[in-house]
Amino acid sequence: MRRLVKGCVIVFTAALGLTSCKDNSKEQSSADLAIAEKDVVIPDVYEFGFNLNDYIVKRDTVHSGDSFGQILERNNIGFSKIYQIAEKTRDSFDIRKIQIGKPYTLLCAKDSLETPKCFIYQPNKEEYVVVNFQDSIHAYTSRKPIKYVEKEYSGIINSNISQTLADDGLSLILAYKMSDIYAWTIDFTRLQKGDRFKVIYTDKYIDDTIYAGIDKIKAAYFEHNTEPFYAFEFETDSVIGTTDFYNEEAKTLRRAFLKAPVEYKRISSRFNLNRRIALYGNKVRPHKGTDFAANIGTPIVATANGVVTKSSYTGGNGNYVKIRHNKVYETQYLHMQKRKVKVGEYVKQGDVIGWVGMTGNTSGPHVCYRFWKNGEQVDPFKQKLPAAEPILENLKDKYLEYIKPIKVQMDAIPFSEDNKLKEEQNLITQAY
């Protein structure tokens, strides 16, 4: 390897371990140069399945007004070739779907024109689409190697779980995932100061270094009002990969219905058959729903599995969806900004069916959630709703055996206050 520094050639020869400096670079012997060049080894750099050292690599993002054709045309690919590429790859990659802001990479030949040989588009951090036209023209989708790292965390509630996680620099996604797990067991809007929790979860890393977010929660423990709640993830159907969470006694944490259809700020109006409104002369105007105030655009989810029986618009309801869950229960979701589902469509608990809006007769953004039991509108918070399907008997023993080591691991995770107490005890011991 050679490097010119202020008129002086410095030659590094790994084999001889010598460094020489001469005032005149022309006096450098050809033998020394040969040795130096021989010892230089450029390491291979692989990405997307290609050795990047074989190409001139150009990286950019899709800009406003860009199209697949314009990107290639700017880089010396003719229109006929672009058309040929688009035609031969259309069953594998729709070139019209490239989005503004998404990154792409061009692998170009090491010639004077730097002619592109391959176009690589990244719709997200994990996936990439390769459009290869250096030999035969073809396209395929692949994924970057993902590394999963198991982590542990414990926290103590001071104001809310989101703040607790934020104070320690953890993603709020962890709070959302935990609220989903405990959706029927714990009301996360009414957590108490001093409530505490532990969680075992996995983080995703792309190419070993790029953080790609939280993958899933393996197990959790929540101590609410001094009452402990364990939750362990378990695969109940290996064929389709169905998983759910159960407690230490193999009882499900879920119920047939979620408590709320939306991540809400507050309940702005409850079910009240005797409600009186001054605007209407203080007359009784029953409110047969529960209003969950939330920002416009917040996803609204189905609170249980069922079939969509109505997806329509009326002057009072605005955009609304109604779902029949079985012969006994139905739910309805009013004032949507936009509906996502159609009549006859089957939805599962937690599926997004629309977004919070202000359509119909409403004074603010919210979803009015209505609940029917045997054809009569009732208050869902006062119903003794059925539990979700319990774990199958033939899986119960397998589950209990599976969670044994995980529970031991969970119980061994200390709380921060426990660590402080141990430190204080150690200091007292050392003082004596």
Query: Please, which residues bridge with residue 332 across strands?
Result: 322, 370
User: pLDDT tier at 223 (50, 70, 90 boundaries)?
Assistant: very high
pLDDT-above-70 percentage for the chain? 83
DSSP structural state of residue 65: T
Q: Which of 227-236, 237-246, 374-383 has the weakest average pLDDT? A: 237-246
pTM over 0.75: no
More confident residue, 182 or 39: 182
Residue count of the chain: 432
Where, residue-wise, is CATH 2.70.70.10 in the chain? 266-382
Residue range 352-380: average pLDDT?
92
User: pLDDT tier at 39 (50, 70, 90 boundaries)?
Assistant: low
Q: Is 49 left (phi over 0), alpha (psi -120 to 50) or beta?
A: left
User: pLDDT tier at 36 (50, 70, 90 boundaries)?
Assistant: low
DSSP run (H or E) holding 356: strand 352-356
**pLDDT value for 284:** 59
User: pLDDT tier at 363 (50, 70, 90 boundaries)?
Assistant: confident
Per residue in 42-87, pLDDT (tens digit) is 788 889 989 999 999 999 999 999 999 999 999 999 999 999 999 9
**pLDDT value for 11:** 40
User: pLDDT tier at 390 (50, 70, 90 boundaries)?
Assistant: confident
Residue 1 has pLDDT above 60, yes or no: no
**pLDDT value for 343:** 96
DSSP per residue, 211-272 = EEEEEEEEEEEEEETTEEEEEEEEEEETTTTEEEEE-TTS-BS-BSS-S-SS--SEEEE--B
The one-letter amino acid code at 233 reads: E
User: pLDDT tier at 12 (50, 70, 90 boundaries)?
Assistant: very low
| Under 8 Å between Cβ of 67 and 98 | yes
Distance of CA 77 to the CA centre of its chain: 37
Please name the residues in contact with 274: beta carbons below 8 A apart, sequence gap of 6 or more: 284, 286
Residue range 120-142: average pLDDT?
92
- What distance in Å separates the CA atoms of residue 10 and residue 252, rounded to the nearest whole number? 71
**pLDDT value for 269:** 83
Whole-number average pLDDT of the chain: 84
What CA–CA distances, in Å, run from 329 to 292, 304, 324? 20, 10, 6
pLDDT-above-90 percentage for the chain? 51
Q: Which of 55-64, 147-156, 197-206, 234-243 has the weakest average pLDDT? A: 234-243
Per residue in 311-354, pLDDT (tens digit) is 999 998 999 999 998 888 999 999 999 999 999 998 888 899 99
- What distance in Å separates the CA atoms of residue 217 and residue 416, rounded to the nearest whole number? 20
Pick the CATH number of 149-246 from 1.10.1200.10, 3.90.1150.10, 3.30.420.40, 3.10.450.350: 3.10.450.350
What CA–CA distances, in Å, run from 349 to 139, 260, 307? 36, 11, 11
**pLDDT value for 418:** 55
**pLDDT value for 13:** 38
CATH 3.40.630.10 fits 49-143, yes or no: no
Which overall architecture, per CATH, does domain 266-382 show? Distorted Sandwich (2.70)
**pLDDT value for 2:** 39
Q: Which two tokens stand for residue 417?
A: 């206050």
More confident residue, 422 or 205: 205
More confident residue, 281 or 108: 108
**pLDDT value for 407:** 96
Residue 202 has pLDDT above 70, yes or no: yes
User: pLDDT tier at 283 (50, 70, 90 boundaries)?
Assistant: low
Where, residue-wise, is CATH 3.10.450.350 in the chain? 49-143, 149-246
- What distance in Å separates the CA atoms of residue 341 and residue 351, rounded to the nearest whole number? 10
By 3-state DSSP, what share of the chain in percent is helix, strand and coil, each rounded to 5? 25, 40, 40
**pLDDT value for 332:** 96
User: pLDDT tier at 34 (50, 70, 90 boundaries)?
Assistant: low
